[in-house]
Amino acid sequence: MAFEGLADRLQSVMNKIRGKGKVTEADVKDMMREVRLALLEADVNFKVVKDFVKRVSERAVGQEVLKSLTPGQQVIKVVKEELTALMGGEQSKIAVATRPPTVIMMVGLQGAGKTTTTGKLANLLRKKYNRKPLLVAADIYRPAAIQQLETLGKQLNMPVFSLGDQVSPVEIAKQAIAKAKEEHHDYVLIDTAGRLHIDEALMDELKQIKEVTKPDEIFLVVDAMTGQDAVNVAQSFNEQLGLTGIILTKLDGDTRGGAALSIKAVTNTPIKFVGMGEKLDALEPFHPERMASRILGMGDVLTLIEKAQAAVDEEKAKELEQKMRTMSFTLDDFLEQLGQVRKMGPLDEILKMLPGANKMKGLNNIQIDEKQISHVEAIIRSMTKEEKMNPEIINASRKKRIAKGSGTSVQEVNRLLKQFDEMKKMMKMMTTMTKGKKKGFRFPFM
Amino acid sequence: MSFFKKLKEKITKQADSVTEKFKQGLSKTRDSFAGRVNDLIARYRKVDEEFFEELEEILIAADVGVTTVMELIDELKMEVKRRNIQDPKEMQAVISEKLVDIYRGDDDNLATLNIQENGLTVILFVGVNGVGKTTTIGKLAHKLKSEGKTVMLAAGDTFRAGAIEQLEVWGERVGAEVIKQSAGSDPAAVMYDAIQAAKARHVDVLLCDTAGRLQNKVNLMKELEKVKRVIEREIPSAPHEVLLVLDATTGQNAMSQVKIFKEATNVTGIVLTKLDGTAKGGIVLAIRNELNIPVKLVGLGEKMDDLQEFDPEQYVYGLFADLLEEPQP
């Protein structure tokens, strides 16, 4: 997961200070050295690191800490606040032109993921904002780039405007806008060719496209794995084109993604979206405060809740809660539960959003095999209604039948039954616990 | 400046065109990296702690990575002590020497591509998304063809939209047959077909493309293991090279890429692409230093012949070229 390493390092530093009665200047210095190294290893630009460390040290050593009753906590708070500030104030939205179509230009280096992101953005615009985008294939240089966008268009069932690779991108963009007006598309997404920020001829081409199409947004697509050079690239694109936003891709990798921090700090352009997977719906809004929480190992609870709300039917959730209380939770409910959780996304991603999850070493590297869950579903589906209600009646011959029906083995059936049994026991414990003491959930340092 | 003299002599023996390619391709990197080193050397009158601190920053800015930078600085400090160096101007040679040392590694032979004298050579390309695997294959096919070899391409990226078509365009350009199946098919099956075809047609080199994948996706890495297994089963000595393609703009994540791809496919070498940008690709220093995997090819531009065999001497010469030509004050 993104920023994991940074979170780990900061966490170990924070743990040393957390709970201390007093933070001395030497403590802060120690901590800041670790913070500096962690940020550098996370690919945050060294200049940005310097500023950050300086600012945090000043605030941490200053009166704020001394005044506070629990200085350790105060320092963590300072670091988190500064980190959030560094990544930008708040979440940003996509522009809407007063007179449609709204034009969005996608620019960036080769291989950053512009074409894929163009497809994802179009999908998001249609799904979330109910828009009707037109995709424009303006990458005439890379072999088969046009086919790539056309294939994505087919997958999304969306029109792609293309004039082949013999017409200049400026002309393509111009005609695309006319076409969009004619066919009442409210968004035009122009996929441009990847280019080096120092390639004058190709940068001029982008300026011309900008001139002709008057885009409402110019998004720089940046690979989250980019190192120290991210700053130069972003700065150069920004100076030449005037960027309105950044889209960070491949954040579902294990990169620490320090580029996110530096680009924002240097260009002062907001990070609007992040690419979180290879599927066309894996584009998410960027939330600086949530990301900062994640960096500090506080978990991304907000995203998790949002995902759960999108996937879980409230009525059903209430019903389930009732069942858990009255202990009438059956394998059928379990199956439904699995389905709902799966709707939220890949399970390992969900797990990692839980607070403290990246502190638990085992959980850190856990890879949930989605196939195994399919097996579980198959096993339950191969049971009779009666068996699902009362798993106790499942004897050896029934197990054999279930295994055969689901294409699994008796061992797997046994394992599932055992797990289900243990789950029920845990539920029982949990319900008695919450009945007993009404102690609410507490955040690590509140 | 005896080191530079030696370096220059060694290089002048090689073709001028190669030297020119390195000089051209590295011009931006040179401006920012060597330029800064030179600036540093010019500004300081003494090699002191502050000098090293600034050098440390330059190296970190080149993505060399904290661990390797610390090691390198320590070694340089020792060297300075041993030779009793006072004048910063002498540092240039010391730094370059050290860089060549690390880039070259322990074994010179490792750095050249393992192309079989007789029979089929299979080269598997792996890497994360968007590093330039398909482009590198196209360029390498061109290079091998111009050396008189017959080349076949295997379209193993069956996932990304347009990937097969992209390889086909390259196949047409360089005149190499492309073995493919439809999009979404099993890449291991494509490899099987390709090997059978390569054997039947007595091709010299088979270049195998694969879909880009992030190294933390366990299932996708398993798929890659399977691809390699199928190749091994058909030709026990193959693949003769597994090349990890690495984008020079990548930061510290490259370490994780190398480690995990090596575990899955036993990577034998690295192709460093997009070196013609302003990124310095310093991470390969760390890779060489900490993981001991050699860089075998570098991408120095967008043209077909901009893929070159990596030569540490050429590389360092490319970095410091201007210095060698202008008389030292």
Give A80-95 pLDDT, tens digit per residue: 778 788 887 656 688 8
Contacts of A228 in chain B (CB under 8 A): 60-63, 251, 279
pLDDT at site A437 = 41
Q: Determine, yes or no, domain membership for A316.
A: no
Q: How confident is the model at residue A354 (pLDDT cuts 50, 70, 90)?
A: low
More confident: A191 or B25:
A191
Provide the shortest C-alpha distance from residue B184 to chain A (in Å). 12
pLDDT at site A307 = 61
Which residues sit opposite B123 in a β-bridge?
Answer: B207, B241
Number of domains composing chain A:
3
Is B249 annotated among the ligand-binding residues? no
Same domain, A106 and A81: no
Contacts of B131 in chain A (CB under 8 A): 111
**The amino acid at A94:** I
In Å, how far are A34, A49, B279 from A77, measured between CA atoms?
Answer: 16, 18, 35
Using the Cβ of B287 and the Cβ atoms of chain A, whether some distance falls under 8 Å is answered with no
> Are the Cβ atoms of B277 and A197 closer than 8 angstroms?
yes
Contacts of A36 in chain B (CB under 8 A): none
Question: Which residue has 């482009």 as its token pair?
Answer: B135
For residue A119, what is the domain's CATH number?
A: 3.40.50.300
- Both tokens assigned to B98: 């050290």
Q: How confident is the model at residue A298 (pLDDT cuts 50, 70, 90)?
A: low
Q: How confident is the model at residue A361 (pLDDT cuts 50, 70, 90)?
A: very low
Chain-centroid distance, C-alpha B101: 16
First-to-last C-alpha distance (Å) of chain A: 26
Provide the shortest C-alpha distance from residue B227 to chain A (in Å). 20
Using the Cβ of B12 and the Cβ atoms of chain A, whether some distance falls under 8 Å is answered with no
Using the Cβ of B162 and the Cβ atoms of chain A, whether some distance falls under 8 Å is answered with yes
Which of A60, A87, A114 delimits the end of a domain? Answer: A87
Same domain, A193 and A264: yes
Provide the shortest C-alpha distance from residue A76 to chain B (in Å). 24
Which of A87, A112, A138 delimits the end of a domain? Answer: A87
Stretch B72-84: mean pLDDT, rounded?
Answer: 89
**E strands, B198-329, in order:** 205-208, 241-247, 269-273, 295-299, 307-309
Q: Average pLDDT of chain A? A: 79
- Domain hosting A50: range is 4-87
pLDDT for residue B281 is more than 80: no
pLDDT for residue B234 is more than 80: yes
CB A275 within 8 Å of CB A283: yes
Interface contacts A/B by beta carbons within 8 Å = 143
pLDDT for residue A428 is more than 80: no
Q: How far apart are CA A83 and CA A80, in angstroms?
A: 5
Same domain, A285 and A388: no
In Å, how far are A86, A106, A236, B207 from A243, measured between CA atoms?
Answer: 18, 10, 10, 39
Is B266 annotated among the ligand-binding residues? no
Stretch A137-159: mean pLDDT, rounded?
Answer: 93
CB atoms within 10 A of CB B143: 20
pLDDT at site B110 = 59
Phi (first) and psi of residue B303, to 5 degrees: -75, 160
Q: Average pLDDT of chain B? A: 85
Residues in contact with A360: Cβ distance below 8 Å, sequence separation at least 6, in sequence order: none
First-to-last C-alpha distance (Å) of chain B: 13
Stretch A110-134: mean pLDDT, rounded?
Answer: 94
Contacts of B32 in chain A (CB under 8 A): 232
Same domain, A275 and A130: yes
Residues in contact with B15: Cβ distance below 8 Å, sequence separation at least 6, in sequence order: none
Same domain, A132 and A75: no
pLDDT for residue B33 is more than 80: no
A-facing residues of B in 91-130 (CB < 8 A) are 128-130
Same domain, A195 and A287: yes
Same domain, A293 and A419: no
Using the Cβ of B280 and the Cβ atoms of chain A, whether some distance falls under 8 Å is answered with yes
Element (H, E) at B151: strand B151-154
Using the Cβ of B57 and the Cβ atoms of chain A, whether some distance falls under 8 Å is answered with yes
Tell me if residue A99 falls in helix, strand or coil.
Answer: coil
Optimal mutation site among B55, B249, B263, interface A, most CBs of chain A within 10 A: B249
Q: How far apart are CA A114 and CA B131, in angstroms?
A: 13
User: Can you list the pairs that A369-376 forms with residues at least 24 positions away whose Cβ atoms lie under 8 Å?
Assistant: A369/B219, A370/A342, A370/A346, A373/A338, A373/A342, A373/A347, A375/A406, A375/A408, A375/A412, A376/A338, A376/A416
Contacts of B184 in chain A (CB under 8 A): none
Q: pLDDT tens digits for B59-71?
A: 888 888 888 888 8
The pLDDT > 90 percentage for chain B reads 42
Provide the shortest C-alpha distance from residue A125 to chain B (in Å). 21
**Model's pTM, two decimal places?**
0.76
Burial A154-183 (b: 16+ CB within 10 A, else e): eebebbbbbbebeeebbebbbebbebbeee
Which residues sit opposite A188 in a β-bridge?
Answer: A103, A134
DSSP A338-379: HHHHHHTS-HHHHHHTSTTTTTSHHHHT----HHHHHHHHHH
Optimal mutation site among A228, A236, A266, interface B, most CBs of chain B within 10 A: A228
Same domain, A292 and A337: no
